[in-house]
Amino acid sequence: MKPALFSVLCEIKEKTGLSIRGAQEEDPPDPQLMRLDNMLLAEGVAGPEKGGGSAAAAAAAAAAGSPTDNSIEHSDYRAKLSQIRQIYHTELEKYEQACNEFTTHVMNLLREQSRTRPISPKEIERMVSIIHRKFSSIQMQLKQSTCEAVMILRSRFLDARRKRRNFSKQATEILNEYFYSHLSNPYPSEEAKEELAKKCSITVSQVSNWFGNKRIRYKKNIGKFQEEANLYAAKTAVTAAHAAAAAVQNSQTNSPTTPNSGFQMKDEEFQLDSAENKNTLLTNMFTGSSGSFNLPNSGDLFMSMQNLNGDSYQGAQVGANVQSQVDTLRHVISQTAGYNDVLGGNPMYSPHGLNGNGGWQDATTPSSVISPTEGPGSVHSDTSN
DNA sequence: TTTCATGATTACTT
DNA sequence: AAGTAATCATGAAA
């Protein structure tokens, strides 16, 4: 009975013709798949373990900004990428395994069935290839979503605007510190920018951005920044006072109020890069409002500044060699020595370097719209009178 | 949710 | 190339 049935089945099969389209089997490399593979390879998700990943990350970082920023975002990017990579690989392995399992399962099934019905090797082959195709389409989905993830990651990191993070408090402190202690000329040199970038763990271009924003915003609404200016002025002044105290320690000028008495601030945190621009600050002070001065001797400079301002400095507190702090010192001294802004109002801090034309250095920008909102000293430069 | 602060970008200018 | 002014987009406080 059984052989008879078997032969019947064979006959039926012969008629239906199983070899429907065998030629289609050799799957031509899907261009879409190729594309995905190439991309994954290029991004370092597929391919060799670590080398590709970091290379791609480096490329991405380089494209993001200046080539010298090897900071947080870089490693962050790398970490996220390797995470994607790991997920991708485990998923891929899972699929592979599942595919193999399923294939053997089907094979076993077919083998079992081959006892009761005729199954040609071609049929088995076809079955297998169908399974493989199914799984590879799943794989393709995996690859596609991985690619998407990488793209999103990249765009997140490349388009930093989208993922704007505020700088750390400390970084802002440092930047503000510099800004207000160089208020007369808040244009850090390239080296200074690099230094600041390092200190703040940000990029040089971020420092430039910050100063660009700060300058413009400060200028736009000086009143708003008064408090901040005072705060940082005081901070730097303390540092300066310390330095001054140290500088004139032997000159026995008995100041009535010792600067460091009961006024402890974390000096180390606010110490200024005293090395460079000892003179630039002063010179720039003058260039800000009265043309460019090029005095060769910083001591002379210091003296001439005193004269120009008509203020008398308490030399004991200031010290003869602390030019880099003149800006802020002058402010502090103005408070203690009864310095009053001519315009009245809130005479706490006046922007020495700002000229009436809306520029720090030259009167090139013709914006005559100085905000009328009581900017004490917005047009006032105390060296001009 | 609205509003303000702030880092980044863009179009110009110098 | 570096700055300015305006603007965008997001983070955080209200």
Q: Which amino acid is at A29?
A: P
| C-alpha to C-alpha distance for A129 and A142, rounded to whole angstroms | 19
User: In the structure encoding, which two tokens stand for residue A275, read together?
Assistant: 């090395």
Chain A 212-271 residues in 7 Å CB range of strand C: 212-213, 215-216, 219
* Angstrom distance, A110 CA to C1 C1': 74
Q: Which residue is closest to B8 in terms of CA–C1' distance?
A: A161
> What DSSP state is assigned to residue A311?
P
* Angstrom distance, A351 CA to B8 C1': 26
- Give me the pLDDT at residue A247, please: 67
* Angstrom distance, A209 CA to B13 C1': 18
Nucleotide in closest CA–C1' contact with A214: B6
Contacts of A91 (CB under 8 A, 6+ apart): A142
> What DSSP state is assigned to residue A256?
S
| Beta-carbon count within 10 A of A247 CB | 15
Q: Which amino acid is at A228?
A: E
Q: Which residue is closest to C8 in terms of CA–C1' distance?
A: A161
Strand B contact nucleotides, protein CB < 7 Å: 5-10, 14
Assessment of whether the complete model's pTM goes beyond 0.85: no
Low-confidence ranges of chain A (pLDDT < 70): 1-3, 5-6, 8-10, 12-28, 49-80, 151-163, 247-359, 361-385
Nucleotide in closest CA–C1' contact with A362: B14
Strand C contact nucleotides, protein CB < 7 Å: 2-12
Q: Which residue is closest to C10 in terms of CA–C1' distance?
A: A164
Q: Which amino acid is at A345?
A: G
